[in-house]
């Protein structure tokens, strides 16, 4: 994160186009049940796998 901020400050940060819109959540969406589900996903590694798969799908065909 610090590296990203420094790159932004010196003007070398490269933006990546967003191919689709994400979901927006309200505070009311963060129920104890929802928070527990995310906690379990983090602890089991499922959230990391989900994020990696989403990134593979989002960046398909984009060269860095």
Per-residue pLDDT of the chain in tens (64 residues, 90 and over written 9): 788 888 888 988 888 787 777 788 899 999 999 999 999 999 999 999 998 888 887 766 665 5
> Cβ(50)–Cβ(41) under 8 Å?
yes
- Burial of 4-24, coded b for 16+ CB within 10 Å and e otherwise, reads eeeeeeeeeeeeeeeeeeeee
Percent helix / strand / coil, the chain, rounded to 5: 60, 0, 40
Structure tokens of 29?
């969406």
Full residue range of the structural domain in which residue 38 is found: 34-64
Scan for tokens 């990391």, then name that residue. 48
Query: Number of folded domains in the chain?
Result: 1
For residue 3, being part of any structural domain is answered with: no
48 within a domain of the structure (yes/no): yes
Q: pTM surpassing 0.85?
A: no
- The reply to whether 5 falls in a domain is no
E strands, the chain, in order:
none
């Amino acid at each position: 994160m610090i590296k990203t901020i420094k790159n932004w400050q010196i003007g070398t940060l490269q933006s990546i186009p967003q191919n689709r819109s994400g979901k927006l959540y309200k505070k009311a969406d963060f129920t104890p049940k929802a928070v527990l589900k995310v906690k379990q996903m983090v602890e089991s590694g499922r959230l990391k796998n989900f994020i990696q798969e989403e990134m593979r799908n989002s960046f398909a065909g984009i060269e860095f």
